[in-house]
Amino acid sequence: MSSRRGSRLVFSWIWIALGLVYFFLPLLATFLFSLRAKKGVLSFLAYQHVFADPKFLQTFGFSFEMAILTVIIGLALIVPTAIWIYLKLPRVKPVIEFFTLLPFVIPPIILAFGLIRTYSRPPFAFVSSPLLLVAGYVIISFPYIYKSVDAGLRAMDLRGLTEAAQSLGAGWPTLLFMVIIPNLKTALLSALFLTFAIVIGELTLAVLLAWPAFGPYMALMGRNLAYEPAALAILSFGLTWGAIGLIQAITRGRPGGGSNLGGTH
Amino acid sequence: MTAQPEASGSAAPERLRAVQARNAPGPRDAIAKRAPRKWSLAWLGLVPFFLFAFAFMLLPTVSIVTGSFQDGQGAFTLVNFAHLFRADILGSYLITIKVSATTALLGGLLGFLIAYAITLGGLPKPFRSFMSTFSGVASNFAGVPLAFAFISTLGRVGFVTVLLRTLFGIDLYGAGFNLYSFWGLSLTYTYFQIPLMVLIITPAIDGMKKEWREAAENLGASALQYWLRVGVPVLLPALLAAFILLFGNAFGAYATAYALTGGLINLVPILIGAQIRGNVLHDSQLGYALAFGMVIVMTLSILAYSWFQKLSSRWVK
């Protein structure tokens, strides 16, 4: 019996070790590769090149702005809708869940193609507006935002809070901004970081709608240079790691965290 | 996704009851008269969300479907679908299916073994939450940076390639390996498939009761017998559902392939992208047909996924 348990433990560690190697080896390789820009010695030259390139800051800034707009519009759409459904129309919840999960199964390439086809001719010819890109990003982040907000709402006594606030004479704006949203802070922050992690490096929509975003910039670097792309990969991995680490830190021990499934491949 | 069929099933009788209440005569009348008005006002609160989802998700997707039934002038035609059976298009579907199936199998198998090791392998508890955070990060690490990471690792002058050559005398590229070909792409995709599998399958493994294994062992079953008679039958629907999810995940992937191969391998998403960007023969109707084929694959995947999920929920809550 105990030898069986022992062999099970060995089995477990073997697979975990294999998984960790698969995860870390490419990162280690990328990091070492990024240090080899100067011949013969290890240096941070590639990183200096990256930061010295004005295009780096321009494209990163552009993607940053897109991410902010995405977060604002995404939260403005989903937070009131989710609260409304919890309070007034609980039976519609599965429908909303279905709609917010749909982007998981619609590949970004299809979404991009459809957006271009629908909005490149009258009466809705705004394919050249960055807002169309933001709209696409909002759709892509639906699952992440909704999951965070839903978990946050489930963790609080929304009905009780609402009744208490309204019986004390609070109107809807007071209820929303003074009572519910402060209680949703953790969920909103986690939605924010996830959305940022996704939008900053997004490639498909940005390339096909022809915007000078960070994702296409990285891809272009990959075509032309050797060591700088490795540096960019490390930086970008650091950003994702940082964003998700922050989510874990703020949601630690609370329901409403850990909704970090999937990504845009 | 899984809650959908059950919930819509339970909503129907509720609606029926509401209708009955509305039609019921007598003292209920006063309530019933107020109910419909309140109902319609409450629905107004959902308008912004649904309008947005309709305009930027449903309408674009549907327009792909209608576009694939039209010719260049907008008239109805089925000729685009004939293109789908052209040798080159068929070939690109085959290679995409091959990559997706391979990475779903490889990532699914490794992910399952890792998830099993984490949940039932007797590892220390804190290790578990560490691994789940980890899987979250790793499954998000995809697209352009992932492609760069694999170029630095297994490219012609990549870390592992050079290491194997100088330390062990193994020449990967001399042996026919190429990062920018089928196996290179598959190894790269597997990087995000493994952690995704860990995230998806862990709840199902959690649902397997320890008592089942203990009961089997006490009755003298070997590990193999336990797996063949208990483990696999219980887990099979969940495993198939996860496999399909991984398959769809790889099938729709564009960014990683774009950054890694730059279009050397004619995956379906790459072809669609090229059609949109107009840097190939630019037959936009063919683009619609390609995209429609993809929509069909995705729809079939969702249907199969939810069917297996339903089967799986019999055992694993």
pLDDT tens digits, one per residue of A17-31: 999 899 899 999 999
- pLDDT for the residue A261: 46
Do B136 and A12 form a contact (C-beta atoms < 8 A)?
Answer: no
Helix, strand, coil % over all residues of chain B, rounded to 5: 80, 0, 20
Mean pLDDT of A130-143: 94
Beta pairing partners, A203: none
pLDDT tens digits, one per residue of B116-146: 888 877 677 777 777 777 787 777 778 899 9
A65, pLDDT greater than 50: yes
Q: Nearest CA to A206 among B129, B118, B258? A: B258
pLDDT tens digits, one per residue of A82-111: 999 998 888 888 899 889 988 888 899 999
How far is C-alpha B140 from the chain's CA centre? Answer: 14
Q: Which of the four pLDDT bands, split at 50, 70 and 90, describes residue A8? A: confident
Q: Nearest CA to A227 among A40, A59, A51, A30? A: A30
- pLDDT for the residue A175: 87
- pLDDT for the residue A171: 84
- pLDDT for the residue B22: 44
> Which has the higher per-residue pLDDT, A35 or B315?
A35
Q: Could you say which DSSP state residue B281 is in?
A: S
Give the fold, CATH level 3, of B83-312. MetI-like fold (1.10.3720)
- pLDDT for the residue A253: 53
Query: From CA B61, how far away is CA B171, in angstroms rounded?
Result: 46
Query: From CA B17, how far away is CA B23, in angstroms rounded?
Result: 10
Q: How many residues comprise chain B?
A: 317
Q: How far is A109 from chain B (nearest CA, A)?
A: 7
Instruction: Using an 8 Å CB-CB cutoff, list chain B residues near A23.
Output: 134, 138, 191, 194-195
pLDDT tens digits, one per residue of A219-250: 999 888 889 999 999 998 888 878 877 877 77
Instruction: Using an 8 Å CB-CB cutoff, list chain A residues near B278.
Output: none
User: Within chain B, which residues score under 50 in pLDDT?
Assistant: 1-36, 280-281
Beta pairing partners, B70: B76
Residues 6+ apart with CB under 8 A from B1: A98, A101, B302, B305, B306, B309
Cα angle: A198, vertex A199, A200; to 5 degrees: 100
Q: How far is A93 from chain B (nearest CA, A)?
A: 9
Instruction: Using an 8 Å CB-CB cutoff, list chain A residues near B198.
Output: 19
The tokens describing B67, both together, are 């576009």
- What are the residue ranges spanned by the domains of chain B? 3-67, 83-312
pTM for the predicted model, two decimal places: 0.83
Find the helix or strand (DSSP H, E) in which A192 lies. helix A185-200
Place of tokens 């005398």: B169
- pLDDT for the residue B207: 81
Q: Residue B291: closest CA among chain A residues belongs to which residue?
A: A110
Mean pLDDT of A129-146: 93
CATH code of A44-251, in short, is 1.10.3720.10
- pLDDT for the residue B118: 85
